[in-house]
Chains A and B, each alone.
Chain A
Amino acid sequence: MRRRLLLSVLLVICLPGSTGAQARSANQLRFCLGSEPKTLNPLLVADDASETIRYLTGGVLLRLNRQTQQMEPELATSWKASRRGNAISFTLRPNVRFSDGTPLTAEDVAYTVERLMDPALHSPTGDSFRASEGKVVTQITGKNQIAITFPAPIVGLEKLFDQVAILSAKSPKKEMAVLGPYYVAEDKAGSYLLLNRNPNYWKHDAAGRQLPYIGSIRLDIQQNRDIEMLRLVRGEIDFINSLSAEYYDKLVAQAPRMAFDTGVGLDSEQIWFNQVPGAPLPAYKKAWFTSTNFRRAISLSINRQDLARVVYRGHARPAVSWVSPANKFWFNARLQPHPFDRKAALQALAQDGFRLQGGTLRDRAGHDVEFSVITNAGNKAREQMAAMIQQDLAAIGIRLNVVTLYFPSLIERITRSFDYEACLLGLVNDDLDPNAQMNVWLSSAENHQWNPSQKTPATLWEAEIDKLMRMQASTEDAMKRKQAIDRVQEIAWQQEPFIYLVNKDVLSAVSTSLRNAHPVVLRPQVYWNIEQLTLGTEVARSR
């Protein structure tokens, strides 16, 4: 009896299902989440894993097409934003039902907006709509029509609705009743989530077949990227949404058809000098850091091409501006990256009285030019970039000390004590609208990193940026806004308060069995067109 029991246990252990290599059901898409979703409530999403679930299950009024970067109608067949930008009205698609069969009505939209703006809920999505104090008014103007009025204008109002998944006001299933292509069928904490096709999903293809094509999605929680890669190559998962350059190159060597370099993304890496007047730094260093010539010289001494080629293995581009070239409308295409030119750097330094003596750069008063750059410990790419910049600056006689700090310590230094000289960090950017960076570019902003929370602008060019940013935030005229943002980019390019280093490429891996996948730079890179994706078997059947 005991022997038979032992044999049974061994059999269970040896079964593929218990080792993570579970036999997959037909027409099931599989991929990994780096962590467990913190919430399944679409209004409370604040992490990547929860955002994935919201994208796959949530039905929205308007959707940003990740490929064309244009807004498209979803649950709303049409919409109209007011000229002031403080109101928007929607006409809802008729005969749409939630996954549990409850019909979609204008009351559901009103209920969602009410919940979204409820201060007690602390919805991160709702924060984007809180331009000022005051009540948001929803008015049902017809059977399928609703108007929403905000207390103050909100720039890019319609784009914000891409994040608002409509909830049912009446369904007993609350937020688990969804309007998106899938619904959560199973949530095994710490292990996996299973999403099944929404039987009431409203979209159909040209042949009248209900979308999505793929029947279910299994999302395995997997933190180890190495295992994720091995599983992809073995065919146990269908894609990896975001890859590091290192893994991308390894994949190209083994399975080139699976690797996708979609091109430059929205994120940037930059270095900046501490220009805070009250910072605990010697006066002569403050004078260096506030000098445009000094910052320009540092910028000219950094070989950005090498950073992109060595650190990101060629999967990055020298950065130009705070708006990435991936942002088709807002990027100022007239600007070019600063060249790598040591001679020009030394000329710029000479204008401020710096001179190179015996391989060491000295300022007018004879101080050796030495400063430290802090970055967050554990970020391999940033540590490598700092080491490369260290060598680049050594070539013009500058000694750079690289200091890696525990992230909270770093944040303490750059936001409170200001006890640092230069900092190397990156900016993760999800929003195409540059207005999202008001909190960086206004001189009064807390995230105006080089000199935050200024009472009045410290320089004339910061005053001009303030004026331009406020102007673009107060108009809905896209061309006027574009002109203002272009000019802000020019000023930032000339003054270099942030020395932009590289924009990383968006890298993905997609199994050859997954069809219709066209990875894009915007999140979610691979499954943005989830309804159109098919698996090899499914394609054969549909044909």
Chain B
Amino acid sequence: MKWVRVAAIVFLVAVAAACLLADFVVPASYAQQFRDLPDAAPSSQHLLGTDDLGRDRFSRLLYGTRVSLLLAPAAALLSSLLAALIGGAAGFVGGWLESCVMAATDLFLSLPWLFLLITVRAFLPLNVSPVASVVITFALLGCLGWAAAARVICADARTLCGSDVILLARASGCGGFRLLWRHIVPNLKPVLYAQFWISVPVFILTEANLGILGLGVAEPLPSWGSLLRELESFSAFSAQPWQFVPLLLLVVTISCFHLALRKQEFWA
């Protein structure tokens, strides 16, 4: 299945290149409104047609991909690191620390985040540039998304601490930070990778949902989330299949990341 991996890598490189070179590739700015051509079908001028305001969908897709591919993994990395730190420490130390951390995690998971996010938005200033708004959104997601992953990592770390490998390491005099760094963390990597990759599409979709609460990416900056929100008005009555392109790109890109990185994961 080597060719599948190669194809996935080629696809990801192509997507990354298209995003980085978007300024040279796109026919128009993502914000430019061609008001005489709203909701147009794909054509040679507008490869994916135009949206309701006449903005070129292809341009918006490339810029949206750039925003989401940069910030969603960054948020996922932040939440995975927090989960590793909190869950790993709790699982490794065990005892009262684990009980306290898991109780705190349960409390964190049970909080009504929807209302808390609305409250957070109420405290944010109104005059925020679109770029700042998207950074704030993903930073919030990164800071809030660690709890579920922390539980998984804590359970895995606890199991690992009781395993023969760690027992042998301890018997050979390895302990403390060295045991954690050389034996526990490397064995937790597959779980961390999995949590990371699960988080990326979840954060992208969460960003789309937050837009409904006014917390998402501000106009006119596009993101995968804001592009996916267009599907809210998808109508079976008069379908426009090209509206699904952002969804397709999201699914294929995430799948390609899985395929491309599977080998490294196994090595870990």
Q: Is B52 interfacial (CB 8 A cutoff)?
A: yes
Chain B residues near A372: list those with CB within 8 A: 126-127
B219 contacts A383, C-beta separation under 8 Å: yes
Contact with A250, one of B38, B211, B235 (Cβ below 8 angstroms): B235
**Closest-CB distance, B110 to chain A (whole angstroms):** 22
A226 contacts B126, C-beta separation under 8 Å: no
Q: How far is the CA of A301 from the CA of B53 in the complex (A)?
A: 18
**Closest-CB distance, B219 to chain A (whole angstroms):** 4
B121 contacts A401, C-beta separation under 8 Å: no
Give the size of the chain A interface in residues (CB under 8 angstroms). 40
**Closest-CB distance, B212 to chain A (whole angstroms):** 5
Q: Is A186 interfacial (CB 8 A cutoff)?
A: no
Q: How far is the CA of A408 from the CA of B220 in the complex (A)?
A: 24
- From 132 to 175 in chain A, residues with beta carbon under 8 angstroms from any chain B beta carbon are none
B214 contacts A384, C-beta separation under 8 Å: no
Q: How far is the CA of A310 from the CA of B50 in the complex (A)?
A: 12
Contact with A306, one of B35, B218, B233 (Cβ below 8 angstroms): B35
Q: Is B237 interfacial (CB 8 A cutoff)?
A: yes
The winner among A226, A404, A409 for most chain B CB atoms within 10 A is A404
Q: How far is the CA of A420 from the CA of B128 in the complex (A)?
A: 13
A403 contacts B214, C-beta separation under 8 Å: yes
Q: How far is the CA of A275 from the CA of B129 in the complex (A)?
A: 24
**Closest-CB distance, A242 to chain B (whole angstroms):** 16
Answer whether A391 and B31 are a contact pair too, CB < 8 Å, given A383-B219, A412-B122. Answer: yes
B218 contacts A401, C-beta separation under 8 Å: yes
Q: How far is the CA of A383 from the CA of B219 in the complex (A)?
A: 9
Q: Is A388 interfacial (CB 8 A cutoff)?
A: yes
The winner among B52, B122, B212, B214 for most chain A CB atoms within 10 A is B214
Answer whether A406 and B213 are a contact pair too, CB < 8 Å, given A309-B35, A387-B220, A401-B129. Answer: yes
Answer whether A253 and B35 are a contact pair too, CB < 8 Å, given A387-B219, A405-B121. Answer: no
Q: How far is the CA of A157 from the CA of B233 in the complex (A)?
A: 43
Q: How far is the CA of A408 from the CA of B126 in the complex (A)?
A: 16
- From 119 to 141 in chain B, residues with beta carbon under 8 angstroms from any chain A beta carbon are 121-122, 126-130
Answer whether A253 and B220 are a contact pair too, CB < 8 Å, given A246-B233, A388-B53. Answer: no
Answer whether A421 and B126 are a contact pair too, CB < 8 Å, given A230-B236, A380-B233. Answer: yes
**Closest-CB distance, B123 to chain A (whole angstroms):** 10
B121 contacts A409, C-beta separation under 8 Å: yes
Q: How far is the CA of A149 from the CA of B58 in the complex (A)?
A: 67
Encoded as 1 (CB less than 8 Å from any B CB) or 0, chain A from 193 to 218 comes to: 00000000000000000000000000
Q: Is A81 interfacial (CB 8 A cutoff)?
A: no
A370 contacts B121, C-beta separation under 8 Å: no
**Closest-CB distance, A276 to chain B (whole angstroms):** 15
A226 contacts B235, C-beta separation under 8 Å: yes
B212 contacts A230, C-beta separation under 8 Å: no
A387 contacts B126, C-beta separation under 8 Å: no
Q: How far is the CA of A408 from the CA of B114 in the complex (A)?
A: 13
Chain B residues near A254: list those with CB within 8 A: 237-238
Q: How far is the CA of A50 from the CA of B214 in the complex (A)?
A: 31
Chain B residue nearest to A420 (CB atoms) is B126
Encoded as 1 (CB less than 8 Å from any B CB) or 0, chain A from 176 to 191 comes to: 0000000000000000
Contact with A377, one of B128, B212, B235, B236 (Cβ below 8 angstroms): B212
A390 contacts B237, C-beta separation under 8 Å: no
Q: How far is the CA of A209 from the CA of B163 in the complex (A)?
A: 90
Q: Is A233 interfacial (CB 8 A cutoff)?
A: yes
Q: Is A371 interfacial (CB 8 A cutoff)?
A: yes
Chain B residues near A370: list those with CB within 8 A: 127
Q: How far is the CA of A76 from the CA of B52 in the complex (A)?
A: 51
Q: How far is the CA of A309 from the CA of B33 in the complex (A)?
A: 13
B118 contacts A409, C-beta separation under 8 Å: yes
B211 contacts A377, C-beta separation under 8 Å: yes
A386 contacts B219, C-beta separation under 8 Å: yes
Q: Is B54 interfacial (CB 8 A cutoff)?
A: yes
B126 contacts A401, C-beta separation under 8 Å: yes
Q: How far is the CA of A229 from the CA of B31 in the complex (A)?
A: 32
The winner among B52, B122, B126, B129 for most chain A CB atoms within 10 A is B126
**Closest-CB distance, A494 to chain B (whole angstroms):** 29
**Closest-CB distance, A98 to chain B (whole angstroms):** 42
Please name 25 pairs of A and B residues whose Cβ atoms are closer than 8 Å in the assembled complex, sorted by A.
A226-B236, A229-B235, A246-B233, A246-B235, A254-B238, A310-B33, A311-B53, A374-B126, A384-B52, A387-B220, A388-B33, A388-B35, A390-B219, A391-B31, A391-B33, A401-B128, A401-B130, A402-B218, A402-B219, A403-B128, A405-B214, A406-B213, A409-B118, A419-B126, A420-B126
Sort A-B residue pairs by CB-CB distance and give the 3 closest, nearest first: A372-B126, A377-B214, A404-B214
Binding site for A on B (CB under 8 A): 31, 33, 35, 38, 52-54, 118, 121-122, 126-130, 211-214, 218-220, 232-233, 235-238
